[in-house]
Amino acid sequence: MNLSEQTKKIQSFIKAHHDISKLNEKEVSDFYIQLIDCVVDHNHLYYIENKPIISDKEYDELFDYLKKIEEHFPQIITSNSPTQTLIGQVSEWFTQAKHETKLLSLENTYNAKDLEERDERIHKILQKQEPNAKISYRVEPKFDGLSVELIYKKWIFTQAITRGDGLVGDDVTENVRTIKNVPKKLKFPLDIHVRGEILMPKSVRKDINKEREEEWEVPFANTRNAAAGSIKLLDPKEVDKRWLVVHIYDILNDVELPKGTKLIDLFPVFPREKTGLHIKDIVKLCEDPATKKMLESKDIEFDGLVIKTESLEQREIIWTTDHHPRWAVAYKFPAQLAATQILSVDFQVGRTWIITPVANLEPVQLSGATLKRVSLHNFDFIKEKDIHLHDRIWLQRSGEVIPYIVSVITDRRTGKETKINPPKTCPSCHEPITNIDIHYYCTNPHCPEKTKQQIQHFVSKHCMDINGIGESLVDLLVENKIIATVADIYKLSDNKIQVQLLKFPGIWDKKVAEIVKGVEESKHKALRRLLNGLWIPHVGKKMAQDLAEQLTHEDFVKELTNEEFLSSIYGIGEKTVESITKFFHAKHNLKLLEQLKHYGVNMNPKKYYDLLKASEAKGSFSITWSFDLPREKIAEYFQQNGYFFHEQPTKTTDFMLIGEKAGSKKAKAQELWLKIYEWWETIVKHFPFLKDIQTEWAKPKTQSLF
């Protein structure tokens, strides 16, 4: 029995035996062990694999039932229960490190009744020592990221440890060093341990997912998994590319800050909190839709609020368990769910030529939108969720708008539901399809839908960047058989084709002139853009640039079919080598390259550099190490202002921008006698246009949470 089946069986037991007081010890004992194993396995998937298969609410229901069993039958409690310690949360790939102060978890609640009952229990505890005790609370946003401890010795950052099981975590120091907003040196010589959350901004996840799709990799499901998966990468250089951030919210050791200094003066702190609240204020705040809406508008992910007893003295009295503090609780925003029915299933050819099943739904209102369709992702997802045609389902819509099937409402089945089978042919061209891993692909290289997708990619900003050719025009050109491959785009410079275009509604002389200008300009662009535009499996923007920089002559096909040459390029793995060589051995791809060459598209790795030197460009630059804002953003602004970007410094590079703690690239720049601009203030002084981007990444001013 796999974990998914085991979980369903346990959930059924819980539903049938909601009142634990009616069970006897014999009935509970065996189930108790099964429940522990189930929760531990889900911990491992969530914290280590970053691939949870149940929702947070479903997990909390399992965990709460485990606690109720232990409350009613304390004699059966075992030391390996997740209620006694955080089990299943330490990985085997990193060095382990101990926490000097145990990092506790938080209990979760989803409704006002729980909050009010908790307030009553706290009052009873306090009244034993202080009969007229008055309680005030503070509220902070609850980050949806990866918990971490940062350690500073005499003001120097020395170590970072994940929460792990609370006592021992993973030492991720070198990876955390790459996070731009982590201070490497404090303003004061403090020995301080702080706790915070590692997060991936939503905007960063969106960009990374786009790149992952272009490189035929599975996109991140949410920002929490993206952050956790990134910080657990074994190569700090790869972590550096993920643009993670840290927000600190607690001091763990007994240390006195300099007079007049607050935590926010030393560390990145998300400056949103509300203090001095009564329980009625807390309930009102939690249930107000505007609270969730405000937090959803931020670029980092929150999944609720943290409610803490404000008085430190009262916290000492209330105390903690081995698992969680009793003076704090996490109020989780309720998932936005709606029930609807799957009416039919369509299959569509996606961006990476994968045939994706999509469910057509009985229209349903959810989070202010009418939903009519939802992705079924792949047939593993359909099997795991046990989804059938005509099933009624629970649909969830997250703050990121994308609807998601949480589960099937099996109690609503009538017997008329039928299995969803993969198509036998491509839904676009009706040619045979093939199954690779969990996906189905169209085998026809001339499939109209694949052609549209490839052309849209080819003309996009990070590829040939051809102005005037958008999705609707691509559809028009392909459907009217004016173009059938990316090479046919260059036919648009032909006068006869231009006359044909003018016959379509909405296309005028000015539009045609814009298209022709964009097409002609694209012929002279860098080879890296062409390589990215060809849509070679596992080759995206970065890989295309790495390849282009290593190629030596115009007949690059010989090099790109040489496995030894490809394997020597940093960052290229066996799977990518196989994909590139297969692509450039295929006859239809070689024919496409010949057509592009015939139309005058640049295929010379060095030509663009030569043209740049002879043109009006202001120069070329490279960039290395850490800045307070993304290097990609800095490079983008330089390119917008007439400079050409070199990923690696070469003899043709004019100058190097260097951030904090530069390494081998700085040494290489010095070896090449390049002009070096070091420290942000100096760089901005020489390139004033960079002032425009400082406002985007400026530290937010302290203000009220609501």
210 assigned to active site: no
CA-based angle 219:221:225, to the nearest 5? 105
Within 8 A by CB and 6+ apart from 479, the residues are 448
CB 57 within 8 A of CB 332: yes
- In three-state form (DSSP H/G/I as H, E/B as E, the rest C), the secondary structure along 178-228 is CCCCCCCECCCCCCEEEEEEEECCHHHHHHHHHHHHHCCCCCCCCHHHHHH
Instruction: Indicate the SS3 state at residue 170.
Output: strand
**How far is residue 697's CA from residue 691's CA, in Å, rounded to a whole number?**
11
- Structure-token pair, residue 180: 């731009």
Taking every pair of C-alpha atoms in the chain, what is the biggest distance, in angstroms?
93
> For residue 608, what are the CA distances in angstroms to 358, 603, 641, 675, 683?
43, 9, 18, 22, 26
Strands in 355-366's sheet, in edge-to-edge order, are 369-375, 355-366, 337-349, 392-397, 403-408
Torsion sign across C-alpha atoms 15, 19, 20, 23 = negative
Q: Which two tokens stand for residue 441?
A: 């692909």
Q: Are 407 and 394 in contact (CB under 8 A)?
A: yes
Which amino acid, residue 392?
R
The whole-angstrom separation of Cα 86 and Cα 74 is: 19
Tokens standing for residue 173: 């120091």
For 427-479, the DSSP string reads: TTT--BEEEETTEEEE--TT-HHHHHHHHHHHTSTTTT--TT--HHHHHHHHH
The CA-atom distances, in angstroms, between 121 and each of 71, 124, 135, 318 are 16, 5, 12, 10
Hey, what are 295's tokens?
């937090």
Element (H, E) at 6: helix 3-16
CA dihedral angle for residue 144, residue 236, residue 629, residue 542, rounded to 10 degrees? -110
Task: Name residue 196's beta-bridge partners.
Answer: 148, 248
How far CA 236 is from CA of 295, 624, 658, in Å, comes to 30, 14, 18
Candidates 51, 142, 232, 383; catalytic one: 142
Catalytic residues, by residue number, are: 142
